[in-house]
Every structure is written in C-alpha cells, then in structure tokens.
Amino acid sequence: MSETPKAERVLRLIRLLRERKRSIPQLADLLETIPRTIYRDIEALKNVGYLIHRDEKHRYSLDENPTTTRAQFSIEETRLIREHLSALPATHPLKTSIERKLYLSSELIPLADELTDLHRGTLISRLNAAIAGGRQVRLVKYHSNNSASVEDRLVEPVSLTDDYAILNAYEPASQKQKTFKLARMEDVEVLGTSCASQPDADELDLFGFSGPAPLPVVVRLSFLAHRLLHEEFPASRGYLTMKNKDEPYPWEFRYLVRDFRGIGRFLLGLPGEVQVVEPAALRGFLREKGERGYGCAERGE
C-alpha cells in the first residue's frame, strides 16, 4: 500500500473525529478501509500527541482544548509539507484543496509533519529528477527479496508507477529491465553519469509489471475486493465503476495490464470475491496457477 494515501486517510480521520463521536466500523466505512487499519491510525495519532476519547459505547472522538494555541508552521516546515504534496499525482482530487488550505490559512493540524513520510518524498523527488535528467542512480542498501540480499544497486530509472510505489529501471549489471520497490530503498543517490543506450523500456501497469503489449481485462468485484484493490493500488480508482450495488459483484474493473502475474496475485488472494469477465486467457491463467498452488510473489525486485 502506498504511503501517500495513508497520510490522506489520517487527515480525513482527524476531521471525522472532530465532527462527532463515531464507532470504529463507522470510521472504517467512511474511510473505505478495514477496522484494524483505523485502530492503528488512532494509536499513531495518540503517539504524536493527539487526545483521543472513547466513550462507554466505544465511540471515538478528538478531545481538543480550546485554549491551546495551534503551532504555526515556519517557512521551512511549509516547504517540506509542500514537497510531500508534490508526490501526489496532479489529478488527485484532494491535492488542490490541501494546497489551498495550507497557503491560505498558514497553519495545519498540530504535529502534521508526523503524518507525512518525508523520506519517501525525498526518494520520489530524486528519482523524478534523475528520470527527467536522464541520470543513473544508486539505490543505497536495497533490500531484495529475490536474492535475499541488502546491497547498493546501480540502475537507470525509466518511470514510477502512478502510486509512486515502484521504480521501473534498467540495470546495466544484469542488462535487464527490473522493478524496484521504494519501500526497500534506504536512500537514492543521483549520479553525474548519463544513462547509457538501453533497450526501449516496457510500460509498467499499476500492479508493477511490464510487458510488450497491453492486455485488456474486465473483472467484477465484491465490496470487499473493491475496497482492498482501492486500498492496495490507489491508482486503480479511475478504472473502477459501480454497476449494480444489489449484485454480488457490484464493482467493475476495466484496465490494460501488462502481465497476468500482477493482477493474478491480487485475484488469487480473494477466492469467491472476484469474477473474471474477460479475457478467457486470464481465467485460464488463474485456473492453472490455482491448480499448482501458485504463490504470487510480491511485486518489485
């Protein structure tokens, strides 16, 4: 799951807790997540200084002292928050409103800097700069599940997925195009060396897989499957359509994947919650992998 949507979710949680008392299931439903996530977010808010009240009916609300003066953000703090917001896609529905509130009010919620992943924002900024400038980068202490190693990796960055979770890059040492998860990078160094001539890179789909040609898929989802897809792959939002809320699979997901392995990992983990409409090749792929006890690996190298 991407961290940017997590920051957005916590900001919305604070607003809901300020409005009135709500139960955990109500908060989970409003924020389109699961109760366990809400419990974790509430604990995180407590850890950074928020006073969360729970009444005898197990409803939660935010205790605020009206005499307490809110902390004003300095120019440096505002700049850091603005850099984090820049990690959001330009089309994100909440980006403009958050920026407007930031600059018009000159203040945000207390301890808001604790809710943002500034390190991840720095990685994204450096990788975007390297992509734009055609520069090689060193992924410092990259944790690879495939090789069970932690080492620096020299790569030529090509693109980032829409949710900024995965880097698509060419690795000169292996002469292969690979994907690397940002969560496994301890740091990124942009080098002065220009990217060498390399094969044309295949585009990544939102599941972090590449391929030479797009493969159209149509999948029907239950409410649970829809919520999990939206939570794990936020960029899927633009490809989801509500068809009939009274049907077992009310949501439809239409998308062009690049490899069945990515979407297959998600679908195989939700038996009974998804229905593949097309193509037949995807149904065959899932059936074959299911019969083999296929364990889908995590996306990313």
pLDDT of residue 16: 86
Phi-psi domain of 300 (left: phi exceeds 0; alpha: psi -120 through 50; beta: other): left
CA distance 294 to 111: 44
End-to-end CA distance of the chain: 16
Q: Which residues pair with 138 in a beta bridge?
A: 154, 189
The fold of 3-115 is Arc Repressor Mutant, subunit A (1.10.10)
CA distance 269 to 254: 19
Which segments of the chain have a pLDDT < 50? 1-4, 65-72, 103-116, 294-300
List C-alpha distances in Å: 20 to 9, 30, 40, 46, 48. 17, 13, 20, 18, 21
pLDDT of residue 294: 44
The fold of 127-194 is SH3 type barrels. (2.30.30)
pLDDT of residue 153: 94
Strand order through the sheet with 274-278: 240-242, 251-257, 215-221, 274-278
**138 neighbors 154 (Cβ within 8 angstroms):** yes
CA distance 184 to 177: 18
Q: Token pair for residue 57?
A: 């009916």
Q: Token pair for residue 196?
A: 């060498």
pTM: 0.44
- Domain range 215-291, CATH class: alpha beta
Q: Tell whether the torsion through CA atoms of 29, 31, 37 and 41 is positive or negative.
A: negative
Domain ranges of the chain: 3-115, 127-194, 215-291
pLDDT of residue 86: 60
